[in-house]
A = this chain, B = another copy of it.
Amino acid sequence: MSTADQEVRVARAYLSRVAEPPAPALAAFVTQAGPVLAARLVRDGEVPAEVAKETDARRLVYQPEQDLASAAAVGARLVVPEDEEWPAWPLAAFDLATARGLVAPLALWVRGAAPLADLVERAVAVVGARAATAYGETMAAEIGHGLASRGITVVSGAAYGIDGAAHRGALAAEGATVAALACGIDLCYPAGHTRLLDQIARSGAVVTEYPPGAVAARHRFLVRNRLIAGLTEGTVVVEAGIRSGSRNTAATARALGRIVMAVPGPATSAMSVGCHALIREEAALLVSRVEEVVESVGRFGLDLVDEAEGTHRPTDNLDPEALRVHEALPHRGGRSAEEVAVESGLPLNRVRALLPTLELSGHAERCDEGWRCARRRREPSTPSSPNAAPAATRAPPRTPD
């Protein structure tokens, strides 16, 4: 695998600390000048005013070698756009979204052995509330497990609640999962997920655009969320309150042209209000099963979901007229064809033609009084079929619910 020069990596390590992301002016400047020259000009303060505004406060904090060493100390590395493992394809969407203030990261600090681009070649974000319900965590774990077991990487934010459950579901499937942090790669946030983050690094990757030592801060979570959206083909919001960072991730995903999905929940649950708002007001796709998620991000013509299975009634294959004749048959005693015609409202000749057909298909049988519902069907029938059991004549039928 081709990797960038050390000079480039050092320059980007410095650039990753010098501005608080997202720094659109700096990003444009780096694209224009290249990372090595850009880093030197930033450090010397010889940059356009807009870039200076983003970089002046920290331009003299020059510690790239130390940052690379801090990362190495925890088994992490700096992945730069010049590396083959840079996820160039998913992050290319940012180039079209810069007008909306969405800027690709200048570099990514990564803990985990697998090449990052390979990990996110097929990836879906599963995000949601920290204060999740048991229902939400179950759904997150099932979707995480289902995606991972289909070879799709689960990307999330390693938070308590939905994020953690999604990562754990992927780990339980022995699949790949990626955690994007809002702090330095050498810090574990939340602290209670230190062990989880270690497991994620072993099976996938922990990534961040913040330099070593950077602490988690609220605005950084919002910035981090765009990375979760950017690395994935679609975002599934499992549970979200009415004000939720997950809705922010969803908005970014949409701005990047990615699919936004939301899991429904009880209308009475405060933790589903955000999901329902996404579906209701922002046209997010409702997903109830991992198969529906896979279909949405699926390869063209592949990954199609099976329709949810329903029960089948023995009369399902009857056309409307045959069904009307069948409904007019008594379960006990019998009726003449003429009586069946009046009851069903169908012409007598039609009834006379249909009755033998219904006999052949096992729906009707002849008796002394004329015709009645067949008591035992010749075709295989659902054991619990309401029509299979004898019932009082004119007993009200089971209705479609």
Interface residues of A (CB under 8 A from B): 19-20, 23, 52-54, 56-58, 61, 128-131, 135, 138-139, 159, 161, 182-183, 189-191, 215-219, 221-222, 240-246, 248, 263-268, 272-273, 276-277, 279-280, 285-289, 292, 307-311, 315, 320, 323-324, 327-328, 341-342, 344-348, 350-351, 394, 396-401
Chain B residues near A280: list those with CB within 8 A: 285-288, 292
B131 touches A401 (CB 8 A): yes
Contact of A267 among B215, B240, B289, B396 (CB under 8 A): B289
Q: How far apart sit A244 and B398, CA to CA, in the bound complex (Å)?
A: 12
Shortest beta-carbon distance from A234 to chain B in Å? 15
Shortest beta-carbon distance from A192 to chain B in Å? 11
New A-B pairs, 12, CB < 8 Å, besides A52-B347, A61-B342, A190-B396: A57-B345, A57-B346, A183-B396, A219-B324, A222-B400, A245-B401, A264-B286, A265-B266, A273-B308, A279-B279, A280-B287, A286-B286
Q: Which residue of B lies closest to A53 (CB)?
A: B347
A244 and B401 in contact, given A56-B348, A280-B286, A348-B56 (Cβ under 8 angstroms)? yes
B263 touches A288 (CB 8 A): no
Question: Can you give 12 contacting A-B residue pairs, CB < 8 Å?
Answer: A53-B347, A57-B341, A57-B345, A57-B346, A191-B396, A217-B327, A218-B398, A245-B399, A246-B401, A264-B267, A264-B279, A264-B286
Residue among A20, A219, A246, A327 with most chain B CB within 10 A: A219
A327 touches B219 (CB 8 A): yes
A288 touches B308 (CB 8 A): no
Residue among A161, A267, A345, A347 with most chain B CB within 10 A: A267
Q: How far apart sit A396 and B215, CA to CA, in the bound complex (Å)?
A: 7
A308 touches B400 (CB 8 A): no
Shortest beta-carbon distance from A20 to chain B in Å? 3
Chain B residues near A246: list those with CB within 8 A: 401
A56 touches B310 (CB 8 A): no
A218 and B400 in contact, given A57-B347, A286-B279 (Cβ under 8 angstroms)? yes
Residue among A53, A183, A248 with most chain B CB within 10 A: A53
Chain B residues near A139: list those with CB within 8 A: 267-268
A216 and B344 in contact, given A308-B277, A401-B130 (Cβ under 8 angstroms)? no
Q: Which residue of B lies closest to A17 (CB)?
A: B345
A20 touches B400 (CB 8 A): no
Residue among A57, A265, A309, A341 with most chain B CB within 10 A: A57
Q: Which residue of B lies closest to A276 (CB)?
A: B288
4 A-B pairs with the lowest CB-CB distances in the bound complex, closest first: A20-B345, A245-B400, A264-B264, A267-B288
Shortest beta-carbon distance from A248 to chain B in Å? 7
Q: Which residue of B lies closest to A326 (CB)?
A: B218
